[in-house]
Amino acid sequence: MEVLLNDFSPGLFIVQTILLLGLIFLMVKFAWKPILNSLNEREAGIEEALSAADKARTDMQNLQADNEKMLQEARAEREAMLKEAREIKEKMIADSKEQAKLEGDKMLKQAQTAIESEKKAAVADIKNQVAELSVAIAEKVLKEDLSSNDKQLKLVDTMLSDIKLN
Amino acid sequence: MMQVSNTIKTLLQLLILCFSLQSFALSDAEPKGTVSSKEQVDAYILHHLKDSHDFHLFSYSNDAGERKHVGFPLPVILWSSNGLATFMSSEFHHDDNGQVIVESNGSKFVKLHSKIYELNAGASSVNFDEDHHATNAQKVLDFSITKSVVGVLLVGLLMLLAFSSLAKQYGKKKIPTGFGRVLEPLVLYVRDEIARPNIGEKHYRKFTGYLLTVFFFIWVLNLLGLTPFGFNVTGQIAVTACLAIFTLIIYTVSGNKDYWMHILWMPGVPVFVRPILAVIELAGAFIIKPFSLLVRLFANISAGHIVIMSLIAIMFTLKESLGVAGATGLSLVLSFFILLIEVLVAFLQAYIFTTLSALFIGMAVAEHDHDHHHDEAGHEVADTEDVRADFI
């Protein structure tokens, strides 16, 4: 302890105190203040940039989510429209089928009645012709000489072929 | 870019200078030198640990057997009984035993064991008692530009140059280049690892300037002490005392109400114990804390210098038993490894001094808005801050 105290130089202590005070003052004024200020500024800048990037990212995500939602909605709408169109188409086809069937039936009926009436007219006509033919044949038969059997048969044949030709 | 390469060139030149000087210093230990016996080595080491009035680089013996000293004198500034006296240290002619008397401003001065004494009026030579203490001379207030002062000035200048150039760089660009790129992480380290965690987010800004200055001051001076220039600034008790007292003043002045309450009239303690504890706390705040700071730095650096010099001295103290090559090899290997450790210690001591200063300041400005937890009996439960303080 005595040696330590003996080694302690008050002069050096005073000189060191003055120099250290000066050094602290100069360092704070010319070095630490500007350095620390710039460092703080830079850190604040970095923090700001980071938070801005963060915000941009969330914005982007929101935008993407919105897009996705809109796309979903559009898709659903398209689906609904397609479904509706299909339904309409099917309904139209069914309707037209029904109508066609009805029309066809109606035409068929008309045709049938027309045929029927034609048939009736034809039959009546045939009946008339048959009657006329019968009368004509009878007339001819009566006019011809019915002497022989052969002649009779021949006559009948010619008459029949006449009818055919008719 | 030019500036950077110039800086590097200068540093290289300095480095080369260091090594060339070291080789001179080693040649000092040649057998024909005067420092060879164990007693001479002890005296030399003790002499080195002390501050010196001239800048001694090396000594050698010339062909005529004369001892020659190489170095340069430094100004001596004294406050004597007759007022200010100034002269160059070369006037003592390297005498350290009170033989050479220098007259200046009407007073007679002698140098004795690196201290300057003023002879009493009428005395013409120094008289010694049995313990080799001067009986007819008084110590004077010595403001000389000693070797330590030169070291302080040198380091202060280096710090100012280096860090103000770093500060200037920020004006032009966001990220420093060159040597500034080395300095910036160090500044950030002190701010983020020492000041901020120990003082607290709210107050650290005010004290960072002081802590940065002290950190780099001690670190660079410690490193300078490891060069062959033989500085031993942080091993001067006056220097470490000054640093410790700065810290003491800062934390005493900035101590808040809670800090003083915890020292003088601590809550949660029986009233009759409080005065006793207050005495202990006061002693802790004003004596123990600064004393631990100043002694730790002083002792570590002095011890480092003693160990390195002793290991270098192996070269000639063990010459008889190990031979020249053996002693030299052993000395070089051991002192090399201790030097590596000392480089670490140089940083470590700067770190410890700064961290403890920050911690003491932090304890003084801590706000107890978080409220100490009290258990059922109303006693305080120690929080981390107090626990941490107990370890110091």
Question: Does residue A5 fall inside a structural domain?
Answer: no
In terms of pLDDT, which residue wins out, B27 or B220? B220
Chain B nearest-CA distance from A29, in A, is: 9
Does A14 lie at the interface with B, CB-CB under 8 angstroms? yes
- Shared domain for B122 and B159, answered yes or no, is no
Number of independent structural domains in chain A: 1
Q: What is the pLDDT of residues B129-169, one digit of tens each?
A: 777 777 888 888 889 999 999 999 999 999 999 999 999 98
Same domain as B248, residue B120: no
Q: Tell me if residue A94 falls in helix, strand or coil.
A: helix
Residue A2 lies in a domain: no
Neighbours of B387 (CB within 10 A): 9
Q: In the A/B pair of chains, how many CB contacts fall below 8 A?
A: 119
Q: Which residues pair with B88 in a beta bridge?
A: B75
Please, which residues 296-325 of chain B have a Cβ atom closer than 8 Å to chain A?
none
CA distance B197 to B361: 12
Last residue of a domain, which of B108, B127, B144?
B144
> Do B175 and B245 belong together in one domain?
yes
What is this structure's pTM? 0.73
Residue A141: which domain range? 10-165
B52 — contact with chain A (CB < 8 Å)? no
Residue A114 lies in a domain: yes
Q: How far is B36 from chain A (nearest CA, A)?
A: 25
Strand positions, DSSP E, B207-365: none
Residue B267 lies in a domain: yes
Q: Are residues B169 and B135 in the same domain?
A: no
Give the integer Cα–Cα distance in Å for B289 and B357.
9
Q: Return all residues near A63 (Cβ < 8 A) that are at least 6 apart.
A: none
Same domain flag for B181 and B124: no
Name the percent of chain B in helix, strand, coil, to the closest 5.
60, 15, 25
Establish if B143 touches chain A: CB-CB under 8 angstroms. Answer: yes
Q: How far is Cα B370 from Cα B373, in angstroms, rounded to an integer? A: 9
Q: Do B50 and A7 touch (CB under 8 A)?
A: yes
How far A13 CA sits from the closest chain B CA (Å)? 5
Q: Do B141 and A11 touch (CB under 8 A)?
A: yes
Q: Residue A85: phi, psi to the nearest 5?
A: -60, -45
Domain shared by B139 and B165, yes or no:
no
Same domain for B338 and B258: yes
CB neighbour list of residue B13: distance below 8 Å, 6 or more residues apart? none
Q: Does A159 reside within a domain?
A: yes
Closest CB to B167: pick one of A23, A24, A34. A34
Each residue of A121-143: pLDDT tens digit?
Answer: 999 998 888 888 888 887 777 77
Structure tokens at B127: 């008289």
The model's pLDDT over A42-76, given as tens digits with 9 standing for 90+, comes to: 999 999 999 999 999 999 999 999 999 999 999 99
Q: What are phi and psi of B233, to 5 degrees?
A: -75, -50
Contact between B167 and A24 using a beta-carbon 8 Å cutoff: no
For residues B335 and B239, membership in a common domain is answered with yes
- A73 in a structural domain: yes
DSSP B262-283: HHHS-TTS-GGGHHHHHHHHHH
Do the Cβ atoms of B371 and B258 come closer than 8 Å? no
Residue B380, pLDDT above cutoff 60: no
- Residue pair B132/B110 in contact by the 8 Å Cβ criterion: no
Distance from CA of A44 to the nearest CA of B (A): 12
Q: How far is CA A51 from CA A45, A57, B238, in A?
A: 10, 10, 51
Residue where a domain terminates, one of B144, B159, B192:
B144
- B221 with B316, same domain: the answer is yes
User: If you average pLDDT over every residue of chain B, what do you get?
Assistant: 83
Q: Give the CA-trace dihedral at A37, A42, A47, A50, to 10 degrees.
A: 170
Domain assignment of residue B109, yes or no: yes
Gap from A70 CA to chain B (nearest CA, Å): 44
Per-residue pLDDT, B28: 38
Q: Residue A93: exposed, middle, or buried by beta-carbon count in 10 A (0-12, 13-18, 19+)?
A: exposed
* Chain B environment of A30 (Cβ under 8 Å): 160, 163-164, 167
Of B116, B112, B56, nearest in space to B86 by CA: B116
Per the domain annotation, does B157 fall within a domain? yes
Give the tokens for residue A54.
């963060």
The reply to whether residue A12 touches residue B188, judged by beta carbons under 8 angstroms, is no
Q: Which residues of chain B neighbour A44 with C-beta distances below 8 Å?
A: none
Mutate to test the interface with A, among B149, B213, B233 (most CBs of A within 10 A): B213
Is position B13 within any domain? Answer: no
**Is B163 within 8 Å of A27 when comparing Cβ atoms?**
yes
Contact A44/B at CB under 8 A:
no
Q: How far is A57 from chain B (nearest CA, A)?
A: 26
Pairing relation of β-strands B115-119 and B107-112? antiparallel
Residue B201 lies in domain: 149-390
- Do B113 and B170 share a structural domain? no
Strands B107-112 and B102-104: antiparallel
As for how many domains chain B has, the answer is 2
Please compute, for residue A139, the number of CA atoms within 13 A of its CA located in the half-sphere on the CB side: 6
CB contact under 8 A, B209 and A27: yes
* Residue B167: count of CB within 10 angstroms of its CB: 23
B96 shares a domain with B192: no
Q: Regarding beta strands B102-104 and B75-80, do their DSSP bridges make them parallel or antiparallel, or are they unpaired?
A: unpaired
The last residue of a domain, from among B144, B174, B205 = B144
Q: How far apart are CA A154 and CA A162, in angstroms?
A: 12
What is the distance in angstroms between the CA of the first residue and the CA of the last residue of chain B? Answer: 46
Q: Is the model more confident about A115 or about B375?
A: A115
Complex ipTM tops 0.90: no
Residue B88 tokens read as: 């160059």
Report yes or no on B102 lying in a domain.
yes
| Domain assignment of residue B220, yes or no | yes
Residue A122 forms contact with B (CB below 8 Å): no
Distances, alpha carbon A114 to alpha carbons A108, A111, B28, B110, in Å? 10, 5, 150, 162
Q: Is residue A3 part of a domain?
A: no
Quick check: A107 contacting B, CB < 8 Å?
Answer: no
pLDDT at residue A1, as a whole number: 67
What does DSSP assign to residue B382?
Answer: P
The model's pLDDT over B183-230, given as tens digits with 9 standing for 90+, comes to 999 999 999 999 999 998 888 999 999 999 999 999 999 999 999 888
> Does B43 or B243 have the greater pLDDT score?
B243
What is the residue type of B298?
F
Look at the block and give the residue holding tokens 């410690």.
B222
